[in-house]
Amino acid sequence: MKKTITFTLNSDMRILDVESSETLLDVLRNKLGVKSPKCGCDRGDCGTCTVLLNSESVRSCLIFAIEVDGQEIITLEGLTKDGITPLQQAFLDHSSFQCGFCAPGMILTATELLNNHPHPTKDEAKEAIAGNLCRCTGYEPILNAILDVSQQQKEG
């Protein structure tokens, strides 16, 4: 069954027809050409499809596109629209990522963390990103970047 949905994607209003069974991830990637959310497991385990739904991180593989009718979605493309954020700069400076496949989801989750909790402890940061799997880095360089940018903003 098709349904027309209207939602805000990275500050732009989008209107399109979707099947009721289509996931947000499929629609973003295959109908809207937004490729930063990746498919790693298609069952909510890995977090690489993370997007922000009304500023909250969600698994776009577990959400039907029809559910975002009238809502706001931000992907990494939207976050980077006006240049990279201080958090992204910290990831860049730390060379935090290796293969980079988890980066889009990880960055959105960390963005949500810092938005809600600008100065997390290391344990809080660990807990916040625990749903975003990374097989390369051992997480240490990712956590260091998050804590670093948080510290800079405290000082700044």
Binding site for another protein (CB under 8 A): 29, 33, 35-36, 38-43, 45-46, 48, 75-77, 80, 84, 88, 91-93, 95-104, 107, 125-127, 129-143
Strand order in the sheet with 2-9: 12-19, 2-9, 72-74, 50-53, 56-59
68 vs 111 by CB, closer to another protein:
111
Q: Which is nearer to another protein, 60 or 96 (CB)?
A: 96
Torsion of CA 128, 129, 132, 134, to 10 degrees: -160
- What contacts 155, CB < 8 A, 6 or more positions away? none
Which tokens belong to 132?
């975003």
* Least CB distance to another protein at residue 35 (A): 4
Helices (H), 14-139: 24-26, 76-79, 86-93, 103-116, 122-128
Comparing CA positions, the residue from 112, 155, 151 lying closest to residue 132 is 112
Residue 73 beta carbon to another protein: minimum distance, rounded to whole angstroms: 14
Q: In angstroms, what is the minimal distance from the CB of 1 to another protein?
A: 14
Q: Which is nearer to another protein, 119 or 135 (CB)?
A: 135
Query: Least distance in Å: CB of 70 to another protein?
Result: 25
Closer to another protein by Cβ: residue 8 or 98: 98
Element (H, E) at 149: helix 140-155
Looking at beta carbons only, is 43 or 154 nearer to another protein? 43
Least separation in angstroms between residue 64's CB and another protein is 15
